[in-house]
Amino acid sequence: MIPPPTIQRGLLTLDRALFKKSVSVMAIRIPANMTMECKKALGTDLLLEPKIRNVIESNDGEKSRRLVLLSLAIKNKDLEGASEKTKEFVKGKGIDVTKAEFNIEYDHWTADEILRAILPEEIIDEAPSSFTTVGHIAHMNLKDEYLPFKHLIGQVILDKNPNLRTVVNKTDSIDTTFRFFKMEVLAGEDNMIAEVKESGCRFKFDFAHVYWNSRLHTEHERLVKMFRATDAVCDVMAGVGPFAMPAAKKGCMVYANDLNPVSYKYMIENKTLNKIKDNLHIYNLDGREFVRKAVEDLEKSGYKRPPEAPVVAKGKKGGAKASVPKPEPTPASTAAVEPVVERSHAFQTFDHFVMNLPATAIEFLDAFRGLFHGREEQIPEPKTQLPMIHCHCFSKSDKPDEDVRERVEAVMGGQLDRDTVKLHWVRKVAPNKDMYCISFRLPAEIAFASDVKRKFESEPESSDTISGTSDTALAEKRAKTE
């Protein structure tokens, strides 16, 4: 095995020349026309190291001869450490055994190996060579002890990943109004306009001013798979559209919103980028206001669920026969709790509400209390006709099912129908904190409640609040959850 790079503790500026090293190995000198025969005979006794050629020009000046480099395990001219097969081959062919040297440089080693040679010994056990890729950007989250070396770390990461052009670190400075942390460029271009492909869609956005988390791509796909092409979907905290765009491309009628004007701008741009036309409506409102506004606008539009195209299957003799369409199959762990039921009533509203703001989304659920007050006759079968709500949240509880459900019920002012509740684990965000998505059918007693006390109606907001959450409170929550 190639020895590690020379220790260079205390560097604050990267000097790649310091990592040049000469390595001595045993070799055999052969005529050039024996190269393939020799490599086949020696097998694993060859030098088999990544990025290192094991056949080089002879060091005796003979252009017709080659040096075949042997494994570092072979110690001397007696071929100690080599297999008997190799020894017999070399002896039988009368091949000369000699020493050779080759140079390895900075490019040979991985980012982790370089950083372990540079950083102080007391912090190398967790050398920060991992990052999240967002288009051409590497997004790091460096611990305090690594900050004195942040630019050196950024340059090493950039060097070792040719697909990257920019390396950034999340700073302690938090935008308390919208869903993003401010970023510091550690190395490369100061270019934060990223382009990402996910779920068959293209997304363009300013990573410095919107929220995007590449680790959530599985969750985005999971929920979109629940939606039928004929469903109406309301995305309350849509960001730049990781739920909204693929749902709209699938055929759903989508109303999507984000309070951040930069997210709103890029959602509009991404709609064009993905060639989505009239089935995606984009808003820039407070979340609670948007829930009410979207329901009203959907009704005013005269929305009617489009008929599902029949599935055509071939009969035994090759003839076609129509069959009843079925919902997309979904794994048991992510399936909607209730079977999909066709709705033929006159009043049609959203089938799904998505609320992907895990730090505070539960607080917005009060917007659903009384949302359909006075509509009781138009929604005669609420257990199948009221929408499903998918709300993301965090929990530190060892009983997350109870913890999340109780918090939801406290905000909504009523009990959930336990038969419709499903808590899905999304990911771990901290050693004692997990992200979840609770899905449930909006209960009739909450949907039709007459005591409507939503914050956007009863509490005027000051200029320094977002949806009833103060800057200080939101900053504290973001700092603890991301």
Per residue in 254-304, pLDDT tens?
999 999 999 999 999 999 999 999 999 999 999 999 999 999 999 999 998
Residue 206 lies in a domain: no
Q: Are residues 93 and 142 in the same domain?
A: no
Q: Quick check: 44 pLDDT over 90? A: yes
Residue 318 lies in a domain: no
In whole angstroms, how large is the CA radius of gyration of the chain? 31
What average pLDDT does the segment 334-347 reach?
A: 45
Q: Which two tokens stand for residue 26?
A: 């045993």
pLDDT, residue 328, reads 46
Average pLDDT along the chain: 86
- Nearest Cα neighbor of 190 from 205, 173, 175, 207 is 207
What pLDDT digit, counting tens, does each position of 413-447 carry?
999 999 999 999 999 998 899 999 999 999 999 99
CATH number for the domain spanning 176: value is 3.30.300.110
Q: Quick check: 109 pLDDT over 50? A: yes
Query: For the chain, how many helices (H) and strands (E)?
Result: 13, 21
Instruction: Give the pairing type, strands 65-69 and 181-188.
Output: unpaired
Using alpha carbons, list the distances in angstroms from residue 250 to 218, 247, 256, 267: 17, 5, 15, 17
42 with 86: CB under 8 angstroms? yes
- Nearest Cα neighbor of 242 from 214, 261, 265 is 214
Instruction: Give the pairing type, strands 55-57 and 65-69.
Output: antiparallel
pLDDT band at 473 (very low <50, low <70, confident <90, very high): very low
- The beta strands (E) that lie in 87-147 are given as 96-104, 132-134, 137-140
Q: Are residues 158 and 293 in the same domain?
A: no
**Helix H or strand E encompassing 441:** strand 433-441
Q: Are residues 372 and 416 in the same domain?
A: yes
Q: Are residues 441 and 472 in the same domain?
A: yes
- Write down which residue in 51, 86, 104 finishes a domain: 104
Q: Quick check: 382 pLDDT over 80? A: yes
Reduce the DSSP state of residue 95 to 3 states and report it: coil
The residue range of the domain holding 116 is: 111-191
Task: Point out the annotated binding site for S-adenosyl-L-methionine.
Answer: 220, 258-259, 286-287, 356
CATH number for the domain spanning 82: value is 3.30.70
DSSP code, position 76: S
- What phi, psi does 62 have (nearest 5°)? -85, 110
Q: Are residues 91 and 116 in the same domain?
A: no
Q: Quick check: 158 pLDDT over 60? A: yes
Q: Are residues 357 and 422 in the same domain?
A: yes
pLDDT, residue 187, reads 96
Q: Which of 136-140, 178-182, 391-395 has the lowest mean pLDDT?
A: 178-182
Q: Are residues 473 and 380 in the same domain?
A: yes
Q: Are residues 100 and 117 in the same domain?
A: no
Residue 53 lies in a domain: yes
The total number of structural domains in the chain stands at: 3
Q: Which two tokens stand for residue 222?
A: 């999971």
Q: Which residues pair with 96 in a beta bridge?
A: 29
Task: Point out the annotated binding site.
Answer: 220, 258-259, 286-287, 356
pLDDT, residue 51, reads 85
Residue 389 lies in a domain: yes
Q: Are residues 353 and 419 in the same domain?
A: yes
Q: Are residues 347 and 282 in the same domain?
A: yes
The more confidently predicted of residues 479 and 191 is 191
pLDDT, residue 344, reads 47
Separation of alpha carbons 401 and 424, rounded Å: 9
pLDDT, residue 286, reads 96
Separation of alpha carbons 54 and 61, rounded Å: 18
CATH number for the domain spanning 408: value is 3.40.50.150
